Structure 1
Amino acid sequence: MKNRYNKLTLILLNIFTMMFIAKILSGDLHGITLDIKDIFIYYYSHTFLGEKITIINILISVFPIIIMVSIFADEVSIELEKNATYIFTRSVNRKKWITRKFIHIFISLIKIELIQFSISFMYFSALGYRINDLKSSLVIIIELFILTTLTQYILIVISSLVTLKTSNIYGYTFCNFIFLINILIFHLFYFTKQTLVQYLPFTQYILSIQENILVNRNIRYLSNFIPGYNFTEAVIYDIIIIITLILVGRKIIEKHEFY
C-alpha cells in the first residue's frame, strides 16, 4: 500500500495538472463563454474531435485520469504481499476480503474526487467562470463527478486484477495502455462508427455528458454528440462492467496461491 506521503504527492500532482490543463483549455473558451458548467465539461470530458491527434491532445485527455488511477492501482497486490498470512489465517473469506477491499478503494476514490472537484470549482471561479444557472450547473457537475469516478474505478479494478497475475508495473502499464487505446479509437472512429464508439468501456464519461441537453451547442468544442445515448445508460453500462470485474476478482483471489 502506498504510504500517505506518496498518495498525497500524487493527489497534489493531479491538482496542479488540473490547474495547468484547465488554464490551457480556458484559452479555447475565451470570448465564447464564462459559464462554469462549460469549463467543467470541457475539462472533465475533454475531446479533440475534428482536430489532429497529437501527443499534447492525447496527454490532456488521459493524464489526469492516469494520475488518479496510479494512487490505487497496486493497493490490492501490495497489501496481499505484506499481509497475506495475517489476512488468510484469521479465517477471513478471500472473496469477502477482496470485495471489502474494492469497496474501501471506491469510497477513498470518492473522497479524493470530492476534493478534486471542489478545488476545480474554486480554480475555475478564479479564472473568471461563474454559475449562470444553478440547477443546470449542479446537474452537469454531479453527472461529471459520477461518470469520471466510475471510469477511474473501472481502470483501478482492472489494474488490481492484472497485478494479481503479473506484477504492479505490468498491471498499471496494461491499464494505461487499454485506456489510451480506447481514447484513440474514440477519436478515430467517432464520426464513422458510432455504434462501436458507443460501447467503448472507458469513454462513457465523454459520451453521455456530451449528449446532455444542458450542454451549450453553440460552443464548437461541445457540439458533437451521439443522439439518444444518455447519462443513465452510461452509468448502467459502467456498473455492469464493475460488477463483472469484481466477480472475476473474487474468482481470481479464490484460486490465488500465496507464498
Structure 2
Amino acid sequence: MKIDSISLKSSTIAIFVMIGLVAIALSLFASNYFKRAALNAQMTSLSRVIEVASIEVFTKIKNHTFDFGSKLAHNPDLLQATKRHLKNEGNGELSQLLDDPFINGFVGFSKIDLKKLRIYDLQLKLISQSNMGVSDLDDQAAPYIRSTISNRGKTDRLKAVQALWASPQGPFYSLVVPLGGLRPIGYLEIIINPVFNFSGIGNITNTPVHIHTMSGELLNENSQQFADDHLPIEFLIRASDETPLFKVVSYENIAT
C-alpha cells in the first residue's frame, strides 16, 4: 500500500513536471514565432518604404534627364550640325558639340552622372556620339528602346522613351528624345549612371544604403555608417525589360 502511494505520488509529480516542460516549450515556441512574425512584418514594411523611395528617386532621374535632353535637343547648333552630318557634309563637329556638356557642364549637371550622348537617325541607326564618357558601348540603343520606338504609333513619335538597362559596363538609364521639334530629324539619347542617384535613397529613408550588382559587387554607398546589429533590407531594381539590374540594401536600426 505504501509502495502504491509512493508510485502514485511519483507519477503525479512526473505528470506535472511534463506539463510544466511542455508549457515552457510552447511558451518559447510561441515567443519565437511571434518575434519572427513581427520581424517579418517589419521587414516587409521597411521594404515598402525603400520601394516608395526608389520610385521617388527614379522620378527625379527622369525629370532631371528630360530637362537636360529637351534643351539639348533644341540647340540650334546641334540641329544644324546633325542636318549637315545626315547630308555627309559634317567634319566631326557633331561629336565635338556632344562633348561640350562633358567639358563645360550644363544646368543640373550635379543632379545626374552623364555617361554618353548619342544621335540616331529616324531609323535608329547611330550616326554620331560623344567622344567623352563611357566607351565600348554597343552601336545600337538598348533593345527595349528600339522595340518601344519601332512599335509605337505615329501619335507617339514625339514622345520621349526611357529605359533602365544592363551592359557589360554596368547598369544605365537612357532617355531618348526626338531631335528637331515637331519635325524630328533623328533622336538624341542621353545615357546616365542611375546608381549615382539610387544611393540617394538613404537621404529619404535616413539610413545607410549600399548598391550591389546581382553578383554582390559593391557599386556605391552613401556616407552613413551602419553597426553590426543593423538589419539589411534588400530591394531589387529591375531593368525596363523586367530582368534584375541591381540591389539596393538599406541598413535599418530596428532597435529604435
TM-score by length of 2: 0.31
TM-score by length of 1: 0.31
**Greater share of helix:** 1
Point out which structure has higher relative CO (alpha carbons under 8 A, 6+ apart): 1
**Greater share of strand:** 2
